[in-house]
Structures are given as C-alpha cells and as structure tokens.
Amino acid sequence: MATVVEVRPETASAKTFRLRLPGPSGHQAGQHYVVRLTAPDGYVASRSYSVASAPDGGPEMELTVERLEEGEVSSFLHDVVVPGDVLEVRGPIGGWFVWRGETAAVLVGGGSGTVPLMSMLRLARQTQRSDLVRLLVSVRAPTDLYYADELPGSETTVVYTRVAPPGSPRPPGRLDLDDVARVLVAGSIVYVCGSAGFADNATELLTAAGAAPGDIRVERFGPTG
C-alpha cells in the first residue's frame, strides 16, 4: 500500500502523484509500478505506470499519469485521488528497460513516454553524471511538455511537432533523421519510449542514423489507462 502525499499537474491532461511506501521503494530508473483499484462490488482494475522520480533509497516515489477519456484507473486517479488517500501498488517491475547511471545512454521519448526517461535524467543529474545522457523529447506543443520547468538543460532537446514556441530554431514537424543524428552517441544504449507508432518510427530513424539494433531498447504503451 502507498499513501498519496502530493498531487501536482504537469500538463492539462497529466498529473504527478507522489507516493510514500511502507519502506524504501527500491526502484531503478526505467521501472514501473502497478496501481490496482478495487470497487465496492469487487470489480478490479489495474494499470502500470512508470516511475518518474530518480532512485534515492527512500520510501517515496512519483508516478506521472496521463488522463485518458476512457481510462478507468487514470480517470479515478485524476478526478478522485487527493493527498492522504491510500492506493494499492505493486512493484517495482522491469529489468530490461533500466538505466543504472553507469554507462552512456541516449533517451528518446514521445509525449507521456518521457516519464521513465525523466527518471533516468534525474538520476544522471542527481549523481552529477549528466555527461552520460542525451534526452530527445517529441511533443505536439509547449503546453504538452512534461516537467517543463525541470526538463530543459544541456542534455536535452525538445522537438515540437505541431506548435513551436516563439524563437524556436526548428520549425514544427515530426521527428526526423537529423534530430536523431544530433543526439546519437556511438556506443550508447538507446532507450525509446512512447506509443507504438512513435516507437517504431524512432527505432527506424535511430537505425538509419547508425545505432546498432541490439543497442536499442524499446518500451511501447497502448491506449488503456
């Protein structure tokens, strides 16, 4: 079980939930937790959500959740849950899409796929190893950018596909080969996270830019929520 200690908005459709567990979370950057809801009539719904916070050895961790219109769990979290509530969670889960902060990594995220990559970026900054990571994020518009106050930095590049902010050196448009080539570092493990379409396109671009297929780790998510 986990107690909700803070709820804060990230975008108009996404919120971050800070949870306190009975003991250390024990998560690694890139892992996720399952949130399970049980209705009074016994109906159960559960969904997996990536951890956004960096591993710090403490009992608290953060999940960032996009509200989906038909999402049973995400709608409940957004519309009902407040600090002090208790949630049933299970985790951390995952061992392949994990970055331990010791090797060079290129992170490519689309929309809410930024969440587990933010955990990796935060770990790099927390351990003063920002030189190891390059983060490339693709979003529709500035208002859709998760962690807008924290994400920007020398390690990060944001591509806007529909509306770019004033003064942006790159016009709006889909992620392309030049975008990927600019951040790709030879010998890095590449972590790609986003919708199936985004992940497939990003993987094709990365391969065309010279990334070895065996060095690309992909996490796709679907429309359930």
pLDDT at 162 over 80: yes
| Residue 74 pLDDT greater than 80, yes or no | yes
DSSP 190-220: EEEEEEHHHHHHHHHHHHHHT--GGGEEEEE
DSSP classification of residue 8: E
Q: Tell whether omega for the bond before 166 is within 30 degrees of 0, i.e. cis.
A: no
Residue 167: its pLDDT value, please?
86
Cα–Cα dist 197/193, whole Å: 11
> What is the dotted CATH code of the domain comprising 105-221?
3.40.50.80
> In which band, very low, low, confident or very high, does the pLDDT at 222 lie, cut at 50, 70 and 90?
low
Note the CATH architecture for domain 2-93: Beta Barrel (2.40)
Mean pLDDT of 38-53: 93
Q: Does the structure show a pLDDT above 90 at 5?
A: yes
Q: Where in the chain is the domain with CATH 2.40.30.10?
A: 2-93
The answer on pLDDT for 190 being more than 80 is yes
Q: Which residue has the tokens 């990365």?
A: 206
pLDDT category at 83 given cuts 50, 70, 90 is very high
148: left (phi over 0), alpha (psi -120 to 50) or beta: alpha
pLDDT at residue 223 in the model: 56
* Predicted confidence band of residue 165 (pLDDT cuts 50, 70, 90): very high
Q: 32-38 and 44-50: which strand pairing? A: antiparallel
* pTM for this model (two decimals): 0.95
Give the pLDDT score at 39.
Answer: 86
Do residues 109 and 130 touch, judged by C-beta distance below 8 A?
Answer: no
| Angstrom distance (rounded) from CA 183 to CA 84 | 41
Q: Each residue of 114-151: pLDDT tens digit?
A: 999 999 999 999 999 999 999 999 999 999 999 999 99
Range among 16-25, 66-75, 166-175 rated most confident: 16-25
The answer to whether 109 and 194 have CB atoms below 8 angstroms apart is yes
**Average pLDDT value for residue range 206-211:** 96
- Domain(s) of CATH 3.40.50.80: residues in the chain: 105-221
- Name the maximum alpha-carbon separation found in the chain: 55
